[in-house]
RNA sequence: GGGAGCGUAGCUCAGUUGGAUAGAGCAUCUGCCUUCUAAGCAGAGGGUCCCAGGUUCGAAUCCUGGCGCUCCUACCA
């Protein structure tokens, strides 16, 4: 509602300024006044006009306010401060609009804005997921929900690097350290009570140490990596057994947080289906890659770096700063594979995967995985060839991401490159205190730091499932204390919902570029600016309707509202009206989050709305209100806030418990 | 060396395209549970927005130069 009225206002003012002063402002700034008493919108436009019109801002504002007509839905223009024009809404009619807003629920509107692809999670399938991976998946999943709420069709992909050095390492671990046959590994997968990824976590850390013991041990890594890339051998089959088992664990872990995927492209298929060979030809044809004959990169196929201007510096000799795509021994680096994969994403490669089902969610929806087309199912959805892509990948990979984007741009695909978004975010690290609490040895030097980077290689970090378990237990002890009347299962379900709310909110409340220094005390908090705080506000609202024995939906029906929203309903009720106004901004905030690729703004919205509601809840006792008209207004207010909170939480992936 | 990011209250962080008195949570202190649930509410204290210039009617925000911290930059992935 807020957004559409704002657009209407801007259009109206722009037309007026053109007609009156013959100035055409393309970007008219609209703000919200610091206090609701000053109106709903503030226009600082007169400050800008002061210069060209050679008049004091306040004078211009006076003229405009007197002469400009009111757009539909607006009640008044006023001059304020040193020259602001403040606009007041006709509150009752605006409230009716808010009530009619379609909630941005889980299902979202039917897609009308094209198809986009979001890649997130993409954890190396060789160990358990940790808190850093959780940030990726939660950010990615929330981006998916934002896009769907805004009317995009979204495919969710989780890239599986099953032929990389990390998988090779854990394979080496099974062969050289654990000394397990493939049959024994299969047994372990079946018998490890759903925590095979934990076993790999420890083993992977041991392998890193083992490499350190003797440099000759690194040969095992090299040989294994080569075997995985070639495929069709014993080692590769063992690796696939391991990586698919770990992948299943990752899917299960993420499912606990209500995070789901559509498609799992495997690196092994990119190799075996010769995506790179095709891409290499196209890149050579387009002149994006060139063969370096001199300097340190002699014998390699290289690409000019994005920042590098071709004619400026480096007048003579080879560009030593160029990015090596194909090594002098003829093998391709991972950036090359990534270029091929991204050409496929945009439908620019002319090749496709085969598809088969890999996993099934509780509602029966399948997750598809790539395969050789001859092994694939005949009937499958179409992935790839989308309008825009978002890659949720941490900030340390900015450089290779830029390279891939640059390759697509240099091939002449300008619009694709423009719709290639590296959704970059900072890592999750542990505070030194947290690391020591977990029993890790922390050096003197590290103790002085604000945070210490987690490392799967060292086995240093907090596992995702452990954190979730811990959160559920913490929530459970609260729920047990408060709701003895519920069954064990009911209490566990609510505790899980609270844990998910706390975790998702925690990961989303920081802006992307902020490093999260993880600390259990903060993450386990259910008070203040947290997910449970927002959930609690909804529970409070729900309790009112339960005791009043009315459905919140019925209160918001047009007929019911007609009498409630009488012309003077909000007169003298600034606090109540500001709650309506805040509730009407969900769609605006969703759009803002997409435009800035920053979901944190939505957590802010949820928190502020919940906070305002708690304030309202405390101040107005609804059920004991004796004036029926007043009571109806208060009920409608609770209903509208409850609806918008639930919708906002759905976009954040936060469930709404029945009781708390 | 080159590139990217950051520096705001004791701590952790917000701060829209430059706008009205710089905000929130935590922590500290003071009140409020016989009420629709206190996982809550009200209030108090707490600021050289890293420093110095500049642009502007107006700067935490934009520009320049410092200082400090982090990451990236390899024929690893």
Question: Whole-number Å distance, CA A448 to C1' B41?
Answer: 39
Question: Whole-number Å distance, CA A240 to C1' B23?
Answer: 52
pLDDT score at A294: 86
User: Which helix H or strand E contains A517, and what residues bound it?
Assistant: strand A516-518
Question: Whole-number Å distance, CA A397 to C1' B55?
Answer: 36
Nucleotide in closest CA–C1' contact with A494: B39
Give the C-alpha separation, A639 to A544, whole Å. Answer: 10
For chain A, how big is the Rg over CA atoms in Å?
Answer: 29
pLDDT score at A314: 43
CB distance A292 to A318 below 8 Å: yes
Nucleotide in closest CA–C1' contact with A327: B75
CB distance A303 to A289 below 8 Å: yes
Distance set, CA A153 to CA A87, A116, A386, A493 (Å): 36, 6, 10, 31
Nucleotide in closest CA–C1' contact with A495: B39
Phi, psi at A234, each rounded to 5°? -55, -45
Kindly list the strands in the beta sheet with A301-303, ordered across the sheet, starting from the edge strand earlier in the chain: A290-291, A301-303, A323-326
pLDDT score at A14: 93
Give the C-alpha separation, A345 to A416, whole Å. Answer: 10
Chain B nucleotides with an atom closer than 7 Å to a protein C-beta? 2-6, 12-17, 19-21, 24-27, 35-42, 56-58, 70-77
Question: Whole-number Å distance, CA A270 to C1' B13?
Answer: 42
Q: Using the 8-state DSSP alphabet, how is residue A541 labeled?
A: H
Q: Using the 8-state DSSP alphabet, how is residue A31 labeled?
A: B
Nucleotide in closest CA–C1' contact with A82: B20
Question: Whole-number Å distance, CA A48 to C1' B54?
Answer: 21
Q: Report which residue is nearest nucleotide B75 when distances run from CA to C1'.
A: A327
Distance set, CA A310 to CA A1, A316, A399, A409 (Å): 49, 12, 19, 15
Question: Whole-number Å distance, CA A34 to C1' B74?
Answer: 53
Give the C-alpha separation, A654 to A160, whole Å. Answer: 27
Question: Whole-number Å distance, CA A4 to C1' B63?
Answer: 35
Distance set, CA A555 to CA A65, A486, A576 (Å): 37, 29, 16
DSSP per residue, A164-208: SHHHHHHHHIIIIIS---HHHHHHHHHHSTT-HHHHHHHHHHHHH
Kindly list the strands in the beta sheet with A153-157, ordered across the sheet, starting from the edge strand earlier in the chain: A354-360, A366-371, A263-264, A153-157, A115-119, A388-394, A420-425
pLDDT score at A107: 47
Q: Report which residue is nearest nucleotide B73 when distances run from CA to C1'.
A: A399
* Whole-complex ipTM: 0.96
Q: Report which residue is nearest nucleotide B19 when distances run from CA to C1'.
A: A44
Per-residue burial over A551-580, b if 16 or more Cβ lie within 10 Å, else e, is: ebeebbeeebbeebbeeebbeebeebbbbb
pLDDT score at A109: 60
Cα A545 to its chain centre, rounded Å, is 33
Nucleotide in closest CA–C1' contact with A601: B14
Cα A530 to its chain centre, rounded Å, is 17
Question: Whole-number Å distance, CA A646 to C1' B39?
Answer: 18
What is the Cβ-side half-sphere exposure of residue A215, based on CA atoms within 13 angstroms?
Answer: 0
DSSP per residue, A430-492: E-HHHHHHTT----HHHHHSS-EE-BTTTTBS-BHHHHHHHHHHHHHHHHHHH-TTS-HHHHH
Helix (H, G, I), strand (E, B) or coil at A38: helix
Give the C-alpha separation, A409 to A644, whole Å. Answer: 41
pLDDT score at A311: 43
Nucleotide in closest CA–C1' contact with A229: B77
Q: Is A362 exposed, middle or buried (0-12, 13-18, 19+ CB in 10 A)?
A: exposed
pLDDT averaged over 10-residue windows placed end to end, chain A, 660 residues: 90 93 88 91 91 87 94 94 92 92 56 91 96 97 96 96 95 96 95 90 94 91 93 95 97 98 97 95 94 90 74 59 90 93 96 97 97 96 94 94 94 94 95 90 84 90 96 96 94 97 97 94 94 97 95 90 87 92 94 95 97 96 93 96 97 97
In terms of Cα–Cα distance, which of A594, A535, A603, A508 is closest to A149? A594
Phi, psi at A264, each rounded to 5°? -120, 90
Q: Report which residue is nearest nucleotide B71 when distances run from CA to C1'.
A: A396
Give the C-alpha separation, A63 to A49, whole Å. Answer: 12
Question: Whole-number Å distance, CA A443 to C1' B67?
Answer: 28
CB distance A355 to A83 below 8 Å: no
Nucleotide in closest CA–C1' contact with A479: B39
Give the C-alpha separation, A427 to A137, whole Å. Answer: 12
Question: Whole-number Å distance, CA A630 to C1' B29?
Answer: 38
pLDDT score at A313: 42
Question: Whole-number Å distance, CA A116 to C1' B25?
Answer: 35
Nucleotide in closest CA–C1' contact with A399: B72
């Amino acid at each position: 509602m807020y957004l559409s009225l704002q657009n209407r206002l801007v259009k109206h003012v722009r037309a007026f300024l053109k007609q009156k002063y013959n100035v055409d402002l393309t970007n008219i700034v609209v703000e919200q006044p610091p206090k609701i008493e000053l109106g709903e919108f503030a226009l600082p436009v007169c400050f800008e006009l002061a210069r060209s019109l050679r008049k004091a801002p306040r004078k211009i504002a006076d003229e405009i306010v007197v002469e400009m007509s009111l757009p539909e839905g607006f009640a008044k223009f006023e001059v304020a401060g040193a020259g602001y024009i403040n606009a007041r809404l006709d509150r009752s009619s605006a409230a009716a609009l808010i009530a009619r807003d379609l909630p941005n629920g889980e299902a979202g509107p039917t897609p009308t804005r094209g198809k986009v692809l979001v890649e997130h999670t993409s954890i190396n399938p060789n160990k358990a997921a940790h808190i850093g991976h959780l940030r990726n998946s939660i950010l990615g999943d929330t981006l998916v929900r934002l896009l769907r709420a805004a009317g995009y069709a979204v495919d969710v992909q989780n890239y599986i690097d099953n032929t990389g050095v990390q998988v090779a390492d854990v394979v080496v671990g099974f062969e050289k350290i654990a000394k397990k046959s493939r049959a024994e590994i299969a047994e372990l997968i079946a018998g490890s009570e759903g925590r095979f990824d934990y076993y790999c976590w420890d083993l992977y850390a041991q392998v890193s140490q083992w490499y350190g013991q003797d440099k000759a041990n690194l040969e095992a890594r090299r040989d294994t990596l080569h075997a995985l890339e070639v495929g069709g051998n014993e080692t590769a089959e063992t690796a696939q057994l391991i990586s698919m088992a770990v992948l299943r664990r990752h899917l299960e872990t993420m499912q606990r947080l209500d995070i789901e995927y559509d498609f799992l492209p495997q690196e092994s298929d990119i190799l075996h289906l010769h995506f790179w060979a095709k891409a290499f030809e196209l890149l050579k044809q387009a002149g994006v890659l060139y063969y370096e004959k001199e300097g340190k990169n002699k014998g390699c196929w290289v690409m000019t770096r994005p920042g590098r201007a071709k004619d400026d510096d480096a007048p003579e000799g080879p560009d030593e700063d160029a990015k090596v795509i194909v090594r002098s021994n003829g093998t391709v680096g991972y950036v090359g594979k990534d270029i091929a994969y991204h050409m496929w994403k945009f439908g620019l490669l002319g090749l496709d995967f085969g598809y088969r089902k890999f996993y099934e969610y509780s509602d029966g929806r399948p997750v598809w995985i790539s395969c050789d087309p001859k092994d694939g199912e005949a009937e499958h959805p179409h992935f790839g060839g989308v309008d825009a892509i978002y890659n949720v990948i941490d900030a340390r990979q900015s450089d290779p991401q830029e390279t891939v984007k640059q390759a697509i741009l240099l091939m002449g695909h300008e619009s694709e490159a423009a719709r290639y978004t590296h959704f970059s975010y900072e890592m999750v690290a542990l505070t030194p205190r947290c690391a020591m609490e977990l029993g890790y040895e922390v050096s003197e030097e590290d103790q002085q730091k604000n945070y210490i980077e987690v490392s799967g290689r060292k086995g240093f970090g907090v596992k995702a499932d452990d954190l979730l378990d811990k959160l559920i237990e913490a929530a459970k002890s609260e729920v047990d204390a408060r709701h003895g009347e519920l069954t064990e299962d009911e209490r566990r379900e609510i505790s899980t919902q609270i844990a998910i709310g706390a975790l998702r909110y925690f990961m989303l409340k920081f802006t992307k570029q902020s490093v999260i220094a993880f600390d259990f005390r903060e993450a386990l908090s259910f008070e203040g600016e947290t997910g449970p705080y927002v959930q609690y506000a909804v529970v409070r609202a729900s309790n009112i309707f339960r005791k009043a024995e009315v459905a919140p939906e019925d209160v918001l029906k047009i007929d019911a509202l007609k009498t409630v929203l009488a012309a003077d309903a909000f007169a003298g009720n600034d606090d109540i009206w500001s709650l309506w106004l805040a509730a009407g901004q969900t769609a605006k905030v969703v759009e803002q989050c997409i435009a800035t690729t920053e979901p944190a703004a939505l957590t802010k919205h949820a928190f502020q709305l919940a906070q305002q509601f708690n304030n309202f809840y405390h101040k107005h006792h609804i059920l004991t209100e004796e004036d029926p008209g007043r009571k109806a207004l208060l009920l409608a207010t609770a209903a509208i806030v409850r609806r918008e909170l639930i919708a906002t939480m759905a976009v954040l992936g936060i469930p709404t418990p029945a009781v708390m």
